[in-house]
């Protein structure tokens, strides 16, 4: 009986190990394939002063050397790049502001605007302010993944990203 329990226990452990290793491999494969991961860290529907809107805080991780298709957002977004370099191109709409933090909690320093037709490499430590409806595309430059913390304020029910199709 003792050997039967041990064999069953070993078999169960082997199955669990295969599942864990397989899951980790699948996650690594997804990241290698260029699929970004969007995690909602906090969300509030109808926050005080924002009736009819949803406030989000998200972390977006984009694998190295990954381009994202052109898109817009239905509301304003503020995004802080914490790792990597993000090549940011504005296609159409209002300019996007690039900022960097200042010491002692003062107002962030203005770096530049990215106007329609312009591209700029946004480095770790910098932030962008994306006006609602501005069509843009981004690409991770280099092998280092980009991690972005994003605060968004959208009308309730709006998707976090809307594909932008250019007229041919």
Is 139 found in the same domain as 67? yes
Residue 3 neighbours by CB distance under 10 Å: 7
Q: Which domain holds residue 1?
A: 1-33
Domain match, 20 and 42 both: no
Does the residue 59 lie in any domain? yes
Whether 27 is in a domain gets the answer yes
Tokens of 131: 């006006």
Reading the chain (168 residues) residue by residue, the pLDDT tens digits are: 444 444 443 333 333 333 333 333 333 333 445 799 999 999 999 999 999 999 999 999 999 999 999 999 999 999 999 999 999 999 999 999 999 998 777 899 999 999 999 999 999 999 999 999 999 999 999 999 999 999 999 999 999 999 999 865
Q: 16-19 long-range contacts, Cβ below 8 Å, gap at least 24?
A: none
* Domain co-membership, 112 together with 44: yes
Residue 132 lies in a domain: yes
Q: Is 128 exposed, middle or buried (0-12, 13-18, 19+ CB in 10 A)?
A: buried
Quick one: 103 and 156 in the same domain?
Answer: yes
Q: What is the CATH number of the domain that holds 148?
A: 2.60.120.10
> Does one domain contain both 27 and 42?
no
Q: Identify whether residues 22 and 102 lie together within a single domain.
A: no
Nearest alpha carbon to residue 45 among 161, 168, 155:
155
- Residue 168, domain member (yes or no): no
pTM of the model: 0.77
> What pLDDT is stored for residue 24 in this prediction?
37
Residue 148 covered by a domain: yes
139: nearest Cα among 70, 89, 86: 86
Q: Are residues 105 and 40 in the same domain?
A: yes
Q: Are residues 46 and 19 part of one domain? A: no
Residues 63 and 133 in one domain: yes
What pLDDT score does 168 carry?
A: 58
Residues 138 and 88 in one domain: yes
Torsion-angle region of 101 (φ positive above 0: left; ψ -120 to 50: alpha; else: beta): beta
Domain count, the chain: 2
84 and 28 within one domain: no
Mark whether 48 and 108 lie in a shared domain.
yes
């Amino acid at each position: 009986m003792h050997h039967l329990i041990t064999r069953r226990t070993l078999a169960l452990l082997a199955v669990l190990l295969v599942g864990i290793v397989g899951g980790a491999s699948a996650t690594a494969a997804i990241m290698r394939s260029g699929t970004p991961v969007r995690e909602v860290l906090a969300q509030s529907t109808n926050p005080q002063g924002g009736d009819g809107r949803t406030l989000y805080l998200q972390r977006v991780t984009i694998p190295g050397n990954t381009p994202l298709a052109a898109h817009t957002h239905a509301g304003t977004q503020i995004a802080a790049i914490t790792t990597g370099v993000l090549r940011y191109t504005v296609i159409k709409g209002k300019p996007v502001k690039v900022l960097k933090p200042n010491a002692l909690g003062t107002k962030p320093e203005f770096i530049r605007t990215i106007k329609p037709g312009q591209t700029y490499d946004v480095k770790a430590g910098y932030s962008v302010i994306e006006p609602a409806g501005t069509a843009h595309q981004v690409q991770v430059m280099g092998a280092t993944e980009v991690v972005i913390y994003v605060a968004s304020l959208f009308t309730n029910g709006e998707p976090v990203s809307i594909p932008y199709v250019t007229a041919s």
